[in-house]
Structure 1
Amino acid sequence: MDALLRSRPLNTATEEEVAVETPVALTVNGVSQAVMLATPADLDDFALGFGIAEGWFASPRELLDVEPTTQPDGIELALTVTAGCEQRLRQRRRTLAGRTGCGLCGVESLAQLGAVRPAAVTAPELVDGALARALAALPAAQPLNARCGGLHGAAWCQPDGTLLLAREDIGRHNALDKLTGALARRGVDTGDGFVLMSSRASHELVHKAAMAGVGLLACMSAPSSLAIATARDLGLQLWAFVREGRATRYA
């Protein structure tokens, strides 16, 4: 399935490209685990990154295979994992029905909020002007968004602001999952750089970044109160309103 499709607005004869949003179901060794709404690109990275954020994997090597299958109603990602990983999932089963804008999808009670707690992280030392350099490089790293204008970007950057890798998705959380999955697949040391997001700073973005070992998260839009509190609790450095020549540190 393509990440973009062509659509003709009702008030014009000109076709435009539109971001695809489709249900993506994740199964682990044949057992359904989650359904998210996502853009069908970089799905191997998404599967690994989502699993890391959910605490499924003690190591990326526990994910043995990802087999995508197009279904009438969406895409199924069939994950094959090690026996140890499968046993942990049986002990902590979480049914998660996803939406692109949610923050705590599928959490059944407040007690579950802290069920998977990231380890404390350490932020890298930024070079002066690093956030501005990364921000300037982000548009070129989002080719799909340049064509349709409907996708969030998550970028991995060096402490001097050099942008090394980016992923896109219609959902900001999915974009970050794709990025952290790609980093894990490459064996990147996530303590030696930072993530720049095109979105607002939510609790779940902070949580996902910390689960991946990222110590600094920078977002173009506003933070939420829970994102700030979570970042401070985990020792994650949180920057927001990174745009138009400004950047504000909240944690």
Structure 2
Amino acid sequence: MSAALPPCRVVVPARRLDADGQHPREEVLAGETAVALLYNGAAFAVMMATPADLEDFAVGFSVSEGIVAAATDVAVVDVMALEAGISLQMRIPQAAHDALAGRGRNLAGRGGCGLCGTDTLEAAIRPVRRVARRSLPDDRLAPQFAALHAAQVLNAETGAVHAAAVLDGDGGLHVREDVGRHVAVDKAIGACLRVGAEPCALLVTSRAGYEVVHKAAQAGIGLVAAISAPTALAVRLAHEAGMALAGFARDGRCTLYA
């Protein structure tokens, strides 16, 4: 791995304005950089992301996008810092790489948009995988969100990143942060899969949109819970997947949509 990756935190001078005037101060900002995802030497997508936990991102993205069937099918060959961003080089089976030729990604993806870079409607709205529905008792959901909140170290410093947590079959919680909510989801999924754990539930500190539900289903996750509302398409997709979907999971309550 390159030793010169961009920082995840950047300190900048700023001025706070209030009723008493202007006050010079230093602010900690979240790092954001372009990450190019390459499979077997061929470019597939560029995503804006926080430059941390990139191996988790590589594995999680590859599985959640259906590029490979399992975490063991992807190997991170190199993580290289370049002038324009980071090159994330991966190796996958040739059959999986050949299948990428029919995918509608081109090199454009913002951190907050999981569908940027798709060039056809068919590529954007893909069939969803059926999963085994999971349930999490109310008295367990709130503590898991509390643990997720406590683990948001970068957000506590910057106030600018999303977080996602994957709860595995043994009760472990795999938390990752990123400026992009879909990237945070990929990183959390990758973190769980890379240690050989079974992902069961996904918790997100954002709304539950189509892409969050689709990525969870692709990884075999049977429950998604978000602190904000789901979209109507996400609810429809959760029903198609057989997944449990909860929104407004905060203050010891939640709303079950699927």
TM-score, normalised with respect to structure 1 = 0.91
Counterpart in the other structure of 1:167: 176
Counterpart in the other structure of 2:20: none
Counterpart in the other structure of 1:210: 217
Secondary structure in 1 aligned to 2:24?
coil
Specify whether residues 77 and 138 from structure 1 end up closer, same or farther in structure 2 by C-alpha distance, changes over 3 A only: same
Separation (CA, whole Å) in 1 of partners of 2:122 and 2:96? 23
Separation (CA, whole Å) in 1 of partners of 2:15 and 2:84? 25
Report the Cα offset of residue 82 of structure 1: 2.5
Q: How does 1:28-67 map to 2 (within 5 A)?
A: 28-67=39-78
Specify whether residues 80 and 34 from structure 1 end up closer, same or farther in structure 2 by C-alpha distance, changes over 3 A only: same
User: Does residue 119 of structure 2 align to residue 108 of structure 1?
Assistant: yes
Counterpart in the other structure of 1:240: 247
Specify whether residues 108 and 249 from structure 1 end up closer, same or farther in structure 2 by C-alpha distance, changes over 3 A only: same
User: Does residue 140 of structure 2 align to residue 130 of structure 1?
Assistant: yes
Cα RMSD (Å): 1.9
Separation (CA, whole Å) in 2 of partners of 1:163 and 1:9? 39
Separation (CA, whole Å) in 1 of partners of 2:103 and 2:203? 31
Separation (CA, whole Å) in 1 of partners of 2:254 and 2:138? 12
Unaligned runs of 5+ in 1: none
Once the two structures are aligned, what percentage of the paired residues are identical?
44
Q: How does 1:12-27 map to 2 (within 5 A)?
A: 12-27=23-38
The residue type paired with residue 73 of structure 2 is E
Separation (CA, whole Å) in 1 of partners of 2:169 and 2:137? 6
Moved more, 6-15 or 237-246: 6-15
On the 8 A contact 2:162/2:180 being kept in 1, the answer is yes
Q: How does 1:72-151 map to 2 (within 5 A)?
A: 72-92=83-103, 94-115=105-126, 117-151=127-161
Separation (CA, whole Å) in 2 of partners of 1:127 and 1:202? 23
CA deviations on 1:158-181 (whole Å, 9 max, x unpaired) are 689x66220110111000000111
From 177, 180, 186, the equivalent of 2:195 is: 186
Specify whether residues 146 and 163 from structure 1 end up closer, same or farther in structure 2 by C-alpha distance, changes over 3 A only: farther
On the 8 A contact 2:176/2:188 being kept in 1, the answer is yes
Separation (CA, whole Å) in 2 of partners of 1:158 and 1:133? 15
Counterpart in the other structure of 1:198: 205
On the 8 A contact 1:65/1:81 being kept in 2, the answer is no
Separation (CA, whole Å) in 2 of partners of 1:17 and 1:101? 21
TM-score, normalised with respect to structure 2 = 0.89
Unaligned runs of 5+ in 2: 1-5, 17-22
Secondary structure in 2 aligned to 1:32?
strand
Separation (CA, whole Å) in 2 of partners of 1:61 and 1:175? 20
Count of residue pairs the alignment pairs up: 247
On the 8 A contact 2:168/2:197 being kept in 1, the answer is no
